[in-house]
Chains A and B, each alone.
Chain A
Amino acid sequence: MRLSVEHGSFSYRPDAPVLKDVSFAAGPGDLVAILGPNGAGKTTLLRCMMGFLRWSSGRSLLDEKDIRTIPHRKLWQALAYVPQAKGAAVAYTVEEMVLLGRASRCGYLGQPSREDLKEARQVMERLGLTALAKRRCTELSGGQLQMVLIARALAARPQVLILDEPESNLDFRNQLLVLDTLSELAREGLTCLFNTHYPAHALQRANRSLLLGADGETRFGDTAQVVTEANLQSAFGVRAVIGEIETPYRMVRDVVPLEAADGSAALTAEDGRAIAVVAIITTDYEEAGQINALLHTCKPYIVGRMGMPYPDGGVFIINVTLDAPETVVRCLVGQLERLPGVSVKTTFARPEQERGGTDRGQPGTAAQAP
């Protein structure tokens, strides 16, 4: 099922909008991470999306139908919500708790049937909760409780799963278990959306990401294009590097925060202005057109430009000099890197206060090659 939000805006008070014109969509198999600093409205977004709060304007759609027009029970058979496991659980046994997930499929005066129990037990089996069936939820660890809540949501056989910070407050292993579960569910064709405080989790797991900035600006798209160093800096006010760690089995992308930085400063053109040379080599002549299109979007910032085919080497070389806000440069580079067969290197001129003696390179060069 496809869950989308169209131009959603929300404010608790008229003068202080929390969410401004948020639009995104997620379909079957999508695992969408919702990122943003504290107070950016991640939880508010989830609550608006599911109809717990009313959008001030805009709407949420489930398969192109406004969720407000979908009958309550019908809606919650398709949609399931996993709250944060904050230890405020009711002392039901695990089995009773998971069985409550079938509530949307039971009659109002009814009780869960044997089929309901079978479904619940299947989900528990799958998430490794069978041994805990008779334990009380109040006696569980945070990781176990989070799994129980996920199981409860899955017991309803939903097509869209929405989770509020499912891996917060969990240790390494439990974070991994929860994230693995999400990845697996998405692979099976569920539409999953989750709030998270960890950009790394978005990078590693989500195919699409929604980044909420403190200023109300939102970015949505493929994770690789949304979770970039520049975007993280402007949204979180943190200078971070995104890199890859090589393991024997695969490459893992990770984010390392370096220092708190003024996120808004990076956006105001005058302050964060950087002069940079971007060197591009592509092995694919066909890509040249796309590279040009990307460069065109930065046209006002381009100071100089040189293009040179080198047929003997089978490559095309482009050199661009930009005088632009750093974010613009990084964004451009990020997009270029994602083109197949393209290598990019960026060289920044040293900021003014550092020119003249000091030998520190930062943020002098930040070279990345795919």
Chain B
Amino acid sequence: MKKVLMYLAVILSVYGCQTVLENVPIPEIPQKAVVFGSIEVESLYHTLRVTKSKPILNNSTSSGFDAITDAQVTVTSGAQIYTFTYSPTIELYEYRGMIDLSSGEAQLAVNTISLGRLTSRVTVPAKLSTYTLMVDSLVREYETEYAVQFTVPASGNAEYYRLDGYLTYATDTFSSYSTNEYHTNKTELNKELKVKSTFYKWDDKNGSSSDLYVRLSRISEEYYKYGKALENYEPNNPFAEPIPLPNNVDGGLGVFGISRSKIIRIN
């Protein structure tokens, strides 16, 4: 009898843990078009990705997301309209050439056949005029650590920055992504902003060396919010309140941003 009770308790413990809920009325949500992309000022190549959202329930996670390949995608700045075309190779909408953003604003329009029209309007961040760069390095056996700090003078306006870095190897064109950080002076408009991060450069045993490039970008506000939100994005904590990600696309989901970058090689 004792054994029976013990086995019963063990079975109940396992059985009692997890239940698939069936016939639970779940609110329905319409499928939406999703667009992500950013225009780099003075760049000659720009891409945008347009996909479809899908219901979570009754879909598998491995099936991926359907790209929308037949949308009309344009970016308008001032009187100029720039049309993006879909590239099946890279599964992105691309535009080759410079986009003139001198009007100070860019409007994205994505017309889809089945999921309606998406629009977004973004203000072009001001030019990065003056800054001070300080680099401190610490050499170890197979790596060099660089503490990089940009000091940007106070402008009195809210500004948003992204700092990232790349390693390029002499032996090939491979670039290794290094770090990605977001900063703003929003809470202290009248104080100079220190944008800093630590980068590492690795030299392999065969003597193949790499070059480190850091890129300081002034970015649009929603671009910043999106990057910052992802830093804390932990969607799998069942106890935490959910974290809706920033969205600046009307009629759908996603983020459309603009950046102005300065790339510097660190020796």
Query: Do A and B associate with each other?
Result: no
Partner-A contacts on B (CB < 8 A): none
Partner-B contacts on A (CB < 8 A): none
